[in-house]
Amino acid sequence: MLFDASQGVGAATNDTDSAAGGRQGEGRGASARARAGIIANRSTTVPQGTIVPAVLETAIDSSSAGYARALVQRDIRGFDGSRILIPRGSRLIGEYQSNTSAGQKRALITWVRLIRPDGGTIALGSPATDPVGKGGVKAKVDSHFFERFSGAILQSALDVGVNLAARSADSSVVLAMPGSFNGTGQATAAAQIPPTLSVRQGTSVSVFVARDLDFTDIEDRP
């Protein structure tokens, strides 16, 4: 094999550039990968995805935003099953909003805090589900049908009556009820009234744990 000294430096540089380019390509590929890891403190961690069953202590009415409270119904153990980390009777504190939308049938609650009977507490930041894991809690819906459409129905009835009266008098004058044009705008505004969702006290709910909950600091305290 012949070696051209005049090309040696250039050849080495090209090889180095190629290798660097390859490493950069690997880096770009690696950034798109999910790397495996091990759950730390497995005996004192409730992993993401755990379902915590509970029952509502407070009723919910979405006509105004507010707080909800519930009691955990069974013991929840850590990842390895060796310790009870969320005892039965632990209290859940949650929040719900009043910004419901047309067709919505489930109340959306976010559980923000858990308080254990021994005083231990942890932030949750997890959504409420029903007992089988469906998002939200099934609610009784008040669509406010009468409030939304009574104005429009009444306005239509009055318009029909005026038109019939005008025809019976053989009048060529077009009559309109005072404020009939404003009535259209009012009816449109009334139709935008959102539904009110209500959930009874004692309803079964659940917490879908949205992140790993690490109880190490309170479990291993002296």
Helices (H) and strands (E) in the chain, counts: 4, 15
**44/161: higher pLDDT:** 44
Alpha helices per DSSP H over the chain: 8-31, 145-168, 180-191, 216-219
User: What is the average pLDDT across 165-186?
Assistant: 53
**pLDDT tens across 84-120, in order?**
999 999 999 999 998 887 888 999 999 999 999 999 9
Residue 8's identity, in one-letter code, is G
Residue 115 lies in a domain: yes
User: What was the pLDDT predicted at 181?
Assistant: 45
Q: Most distant CA pair in the chain: distance in Å?
A: 116
**pLDDT tens across 18-48, in order?**
445 555 544 555 578 999 999 999 999 999 9
If asked whether residues 57 and 116 sit together in one domain, one would say yes
- 0.85 surpassed by pTM: no
With a pLDDT cut of 70, the percent of the chain lying above it is 64
Q: How many domains does the chain have?
A: 2
Residues counted in the chain: 222
If asked whether residues 173 and 208 sit together in one domain, one would say no
Full DSSP string of 64-103 = S-EEEEEEE-S-EE-TTSSSEEE-TT-EEEEEE-S---TT
Read off the CATH number of the domain in which 72 is found. 2.40.128.260
If asked whether residues 184 and 137 sit together in one domain, one would say no
If asked whether residues 83 and 183 sit together in one domain, one would say no
Nearest one of 61, 63, 60, 86 to 75, comparing CA atoms: 86
If asked whether residues 210 and 100 sit together in one domain, one would say yes
If asked whether residues 183 and 80 sit together in one domain, one would say no
If asked whether residues 213 and 120 sit together in one domain, one would say yes
Structural domain for 65, as ranges: 42-141+197-219
If asked whether residues 168 and 209 sit together in one domain, one would say no
